Structure 1
Amino acid sequence: MVPSRSGKHAAPDPAGGDSSANGAAPPAPPARDVGVRCWDLPFSATPPRMINPELGLPNLVSRTSQDASYSIDVTLLDTPDHRLLRAGVVLAHRVVDGRGEWYLGSTGWEPLLPTERIEPMGQAELPPDYVDLVMPLRRRATLGPVAALTCERREFAFKTTAGAVQAVLRDDRVTVSRGGLVTARYREVTLTPQPPGLEADQLRWIDQALLSAGATRVPGFPELTARLGAPATGRTDFPEPRPVTGGSPFARFVSSVVTGGVREIVRADLAVRTGDPAGAEALAEAAGELGATLQGLSAALDPDWLQGLDEELVWLAGEARAGAAREDGLAGLAAQLRRERYLHLLERLVTATRGPRLGASGDLETTEVLSTLLDSAVARFGAVADRLTADGPSADWADASSAADELRLVARAVTGVLGKPAARTVRRFRRPFRALETALDVGGVADGLSDDLETLGPVEAFERGRAYERTLGEVREAREQFVAAWTRAAAKLR
C-alpha cells in the first residue's frame, strides 16, 4: 500500500486518450482480461522496455496529470503504541506539490468516520474536529509523529496507434522513515487494463518483461501497517468479539462480552460526536446492556474490579439518557465524552477485553460456570420465596425483590450460551415475577399512604386511614396471589 494524492487506495484515472473519437468499442472477446495485476519491484531496478508493436503494444506514454505523476510526503500521526493504525484509522499531515493537507481515513468505521477526508492546512495544529473524532480511539494517549513516508508516483498509459488507452501502468516508489532513520523502501507496480482489456499474450509479455527486471508477481500489496511493522501490526483495541461456545474457557466468554460492549459504546460515541440524533439512545443502551450483563456474571467476577466498572457504566448510561433529553441537543453529552472520567472508563474496558479479572473460574468451561450461576440464582430466589407469607415482614418481600432482580440479570447473561434449557427455566418464573411485582407495587402505595399523617387535619387523616386500610387488604391479596403462583412454579422446578 502506498499513500496517494487522493487517498489510500486511489484507482488509476483511465483518462489519457479519448477512445470515443474512434467509435464504440467492440464487445470484449473472451480471451481479454481487465483484472488488475500487481508486482513487487526492487527499489533501484531499471524499468524494462515496455513496447512491443508486434503484440499490439505500440506506445507507452507518460501520464502527466496531477493525480497521475507526483511526489507526496506524508507524516503519520498516532499514539506511541499506534492505536489509530491498529484500529484501521490513518491520521496524517501531507505535503503535495508544496501544499500542506490534513488527512483522515478509516476502514471499518464508516459512516461514523470518513473513508477519506482531506482539509487544507490552514494552521499548524490539527483541526479540532479531527482531534475530536479520533478521541475515543486514542483515549488518553498523546498524538505525535510516528513515521514519515515519501512516495514518488509515475504513471504510464499503453496506447494504440489510434490513441486509445489499453492499460495504465503505475510505478510507486516509497521510502519509510522512523525516528529520522530509513526503515524500509519498497516499490509497487500495478497494471490496470482498460475496457475491453488486454489479450492473454500481451499480459504474458508484460509479466515476463517485469520479471526480467527483478519483479515478483503478487496477488496484492501489504497494508500500510505491515509496511510499518510493529507496533502498527498489533491487535486492534476494538476487534470483533471472538466466537464462543459452551466449551470455551469462561475467561474468553467474558472477554467476548466486554469486547462487544466496548465496540458498541465507541460506535455510539462516534455517532454522538458526528451529530447523529440516535447516538445518545444508542450510547445509553450499549452502556446499560454491558453493565447488566456483567452484573449477571458478578458472582464469578472479581468484586472490586466489577464494582468500579459497574459504577462508571451506570454513570455513562445516565449521562447518555440525560443527553437525549437536553435542550442543547447532543452538545452537552459530547462534552461529557471529552472528560477524563469517560476516557479512563474506555481505557479500563479495553484492558478488560484482554484480561478480565475472574479469579479461579477463568479456566473453567463457560457452560459449567454459567450453569452454576443460574442454579445459584434460582436457589437463592427459591430460598427467599419459600419463607414469604401474606402477613410476613416487608423486609422479606424486599429480599425477594432483590433476589428476583439478580435472577433476571443472570438469566439475561447466560441464556445466549445455555440456550433452551435456561430459557425454559426462566419462563417458569414469569408468573411468580409478575405477581411479585404487583405485590411490591401495591405495598409501595400503602407505604406512601402512611407517610406524613401528622401534617393532615382530622378529616383528611380519617380519609387517609380508610384508604390505607383498603390498600392493606389489596396488599394481602396480592401477596397471597404470589405465594400461590410460586407454589405452582416451585413444584415444576423440583
Structure 2
Amino acid sequence: MSKKRATWYFQLPWHVESPLLTDIGLALDRVVPRDPEHLPPATVTLMDTADERLQRAGVKVAQQSYGDHGEWFVWGPDWTPWLPAERDDPVGVEAELPDEVADLTRPFRGRNALRPVVVATRMRVRYAVIDDHGTVVATLTSDRIVVRRRGVAAGRFRQVAIDVAGLDPQRRAFIIERFEAIGAQRVDALPHLFEQAVAASRDDALPGERPAGGSLDAFVGWVLARRAREVITNDLALRSGEVGDATALVVALAGLRDELEALSGLLQPAWRDEQLRRLDALGPDPDGHVLAHDDYLDLLDALEAATRTPPLTVDGATAARAVLGERLGGDRLRLIGHVDALIRGDLVGGDLMGRDQARGGGSQSITRKEWMRALTVGEQALQLTEVAGVLFGRRKHMVRLLGKVVAALSAARPPEGPLSDDEIAELSPAQAYAAGRAVERGLQVTGAERRYLVDHWPTWRAKLLALTFSSNKPSASGDHR
C-alpha cells in the first residue's frame, strides 16, 4: 500500500543558501538531484500590444512553454460568452501566434501586433533526501522564478515543495527547523507560474455606470470607453456567429457618430472629422464586411487611444459638470428663445404658400430657414443631453422632454415651397392638380401639428426652465437666438 502524500510548501528569500537537510543523528545521509540533467525552463509569456490595450480591456493572452512544447491561452471574464472566463483549455499549441488567437483578439488590438509584455521564467531542480540505508525518504522540488515586465525584473521568487510522507515526526521537525533558520515561510500553497505572471500585469477596471472622476478628461474618456465596449461586444458577437448580420454593430457605430457630433467644440476638429470620415467610409453594412475594413480597424485604434487621452480643445482638468452644464444651459435657453419667437408669429405668422404676411414681407424660404434653425438647436440640445445628462441626474426625464419638443418642431415645420411657374408649366393638367392637392394636404397636416405645439409649449417651456445643469440655476433672460 502506497504512502499517503503529504506536501509542505515554503517561500524562501532569494539570496540565501539552501538549507542543509542532512543529519547523522536522524540518519539523513545525503541529498542528491533526482534528474540526470537540468530540466528545461518553464515560461509563461503575457502578450499584448505596445500600449497594452488588451490588458486595459480585461483580456489576457498568454503562451506557456516547456521545452519544445507550447500552449496558447486567451481569457477575459468580462467578455463572456465570446471569450473564456477563465484560463481553461488551450486554444492553440503552435509556436507562433495561432489564427484563432489572432481572430479572438482582433477587436481589441486592431491591426497592432502582439508582443511579450510580461515573461515569467521558472528554473526547477528536483532532489531526493536519502537515509543511511539508501532509501529515498523525501522528495524536494526547488523553483527559482524571475518575472520581467518589458525586460525589467519585476520580481524574483524562490519556492520549495517537499513531500514529507516518508518522514517521522522527528525528521519533520528537523525539516521545519532548517527552513525557518534561513528565513523561509511555510505557506498553504504555492502560486502557479501563470498567477505570478498575471500579478505583474496591469488590471484596469472597465468603464462603470458613471465616470470615475469629475474632470472633463475623465468624462469624455468614459463616454468613448463605453462606446468602444459596445462596438467590441457587437464585433465579437458577429465574429463568433452568434448573430447573423452586422445590424447591432452598425447601430453601435451610429451611436459613436452621435456622440462625436454631440461633443463637437470639445473634441479636436481634425481628430473628430477623421473619425466621422471613417464612419462615412464604412456606411451601412448588414453583411459584416466592416470587420475587415481598414477604416474600421483604424477607427478602433483611434477610439482606444482617445479613451486614455481624450483629444480635447480645452483643459481636460476642468470640471466636466461646469463645462457641459454651461453648454446644456445655453442650448436650452436658445431653444426656448427660438420656439417663443416661432409661436409669437414673428417667423411663421404669414401665408406659407407665398409671402410672410404677418411680417409684411419676406419669403417662405426665410420662414422655413428660421424654423429649421429652431429644430437644429433642439436636436443639438437633445444630442448633448443624451451624452452628458448623466452628470446632472434625471437624464431620462430631460431626454424625454427634449424629445417631445424636437418631435413637435419636426412635425410642424413648414413644407417645402410650392413649384415655380416654370416647373408647373412642364406638368400636365392632371399632374398640376395632383401637385396642388399635395401642397394643400401638407398645409393641413402642418396646421394641426402646429396647434399641438402651441398648446403644449407652455408646459414644456416651464419644465425646460426648471432644469438645472450647474450649481447656479440659469436665467431665461438674455439673447436666446
Query: Scaled by the length of structure 2, what TM-score is found?
Result: 0.67
* Alignment correspondent of 1:407: 381
* Alignment correspondent of 1:136: 107
1:312/1:381 CA distance change after superposition, 3 Å: farther
* Alignment correspondent of 1:394: 368
1:42 equivalent among 14, 27, 37: 14
1:375 equivalent among 329, 335, 346: 329
2:92 equivalent among 100, 107, 119: 119
**Which amino acid letter does the alignment assign opposite residue 250 of structure 2?**
A
Structure-to-structure mapping, 1:94-493, within 5 angstroms: 94-96=65-67, 98=68, 100-108=69-77, 109-114=79-84, 115-116=87-88, 117-121=90-94, 125-144=96-115, 150-152=121-123, 171-175=142-146, 186-189=157-160, 210-216=179-185, 233=201, 239-241=205-207, 248-277=214-243, 280-313=246-279, 318-319=283-284, 322-323=285-286, 326=287, 330=288, 332-336=289-293, 339=294, 341-388=295-342, 389=348, 391=352, 393-420=367-394, 426-440=399-413, 443=415, 457-491=428-462, 493=465
**Which amino acid letter does the alignment assign opposite residue 65 of structure 2?**
R
1:206/1:464 CA distance change after superposition, 3 Å: farther
CA contact (8 A) 2:119 2:197 kept: no
Shift, 1:263, TM fit: 2.9
**Which amino acid letter does the alignment assign opposite residue 186 of structure 1?**
F
Report the Cα distance in structure 1 between the residues aligned to 2:277 and 2:369, rounded to whole angstroms: 26
**Which amino acid letter does the alignment assign opposite residue 18 of structure 2?**
T
SS at match of 1:363: coil
Q: What is the CA deviation profile of residues 198-255 of structure 1, one whole-angstrom value per residue up to 9, with x for unaligned ones?
A: xxx99999765543344245797598697699xx75x56x742378679822222112
* Alignment correspondent of 1:4: none
1:423/1:113 CA distance change after superposition, 3 Å: closer
Report the Cα distance in structure 2 between the residues aligned to 1:374 and 1:406, rounded to whole angstroms: 9
Q: What is the CA deviation profile of residues 116-136 of structure 1, one whole-angstrom value per residue up to 9, with x for unaligned ones?
A: 424233xx6432222222233
Report the Cα distance in structure 2 between the residues aligned to 1:144 and 1:346, rounded to whole angstroms: 19
Report the Cα distance in structure 2 between the residues aligned to 1:192 and 1:107, rounded to whole angstroms: 35
**Which amino acid letter does the alignment assign opposite residue 435 of structure 1?**
A
Report the Cα distance in structure 2 between the residues aligned to 1:458 and 1:193, rounded to whole angstroms: 107
Report the Cα distance in structure 2 between the residues aligned to 1:207 and 1:293, rounded to whole angstroms: 64
**Which amino acid letter does the alignment assign opposite residue 308 of structure 2?**
R
Report the Cα distance in structure 2 between the residues aligned to 1:366 and 1:353, rounded to whole angstroms: 15
SS at match of 1:142: coil
Gaps of 5+ in 1: 1-15, 20-33, 55-61, 158-167, 195-200
Report the Cα distance in structure 2 between the residues aligned to 1:170 and 1:209, rounded to whole angstroms: 16
SS at match of 1:401: helix
Shift, 1:174, TM fit: 3.1
1:464/1:91 CA distance change after superposition, 3 Å: same
Report the Cα distance in structure 1 between the residues aligned to 2:206 and 2:45, rounded to whole angstroms: 29
Gaps of 5+ in 2: 27-32, 129-138, 343-347, 353-363, 466-475, 477-481
* Alignment correspondent of 1:161: none
Report the Cα distance in structure 2 between the residues aligned to 1:467 and 1:81, rounded to whole angstroms: 60
Structure-to-structure mapping, 1:63-82, within 5 angstroms: 72-73=42-43, 77-81=47-51
SS at match of 1:91: strand
After the TM superposition, which of the residue ranges 136-145 and 70-79 deviates more from structure 2? 70-79
Report the Cα distance in structure 2 between the residues aligned to 1:478 and 1:129, rounded to whole angstroms: 56
CA contact (8 A) 2:45 2:120 kept: yes
Shift, 1:262, TM fit: 2.1
CA contact (8 A) 2:331 2:377 kept: yes
* Alignment correspondent of 2:471: none
Shift, 1:399, TM fit: 1.7
* Alignment correspondent of 2:63: 92
Report the Cα distance in structure 2 between the residues aligned to 1:179 and 1:211, rounded to whole angstroms: 34
Q: What is the CA deviation profile of residues 294-352 of structure 1, one whole-angstrom value per residue up to 9, with x for unaligned ones?
A: 43333433333333334435656x45xx23xx3xxx5x34323xx2x223222222222
CA contact (8 A) 2:378 2:405 kept: no
SS at match of 1:472: helix
**Which amino acid letter does the alignment assign opposite residue 330 of structure 2?**
S
Give the % identical residues: 28
SS at match of 1:120: coil
CA contact (8 A) 1:435 1:481 kept: yes
Report the Cα distance in structure 1 between the residues aligned to 2:8 and 2:218, rounded to whole angstroms: 41
Shift, 1:418, TM fit: 0.1
1:454/1:356 CA distance change after superposition, 3 Å: farther
Query: Scaled by the length of structure 1, what TM-score is found?
Result: 0.65
Report the Cα distance in structure 2 between the residues aligned to 1:209 and 1:357, rounded to whole angstroms: 60
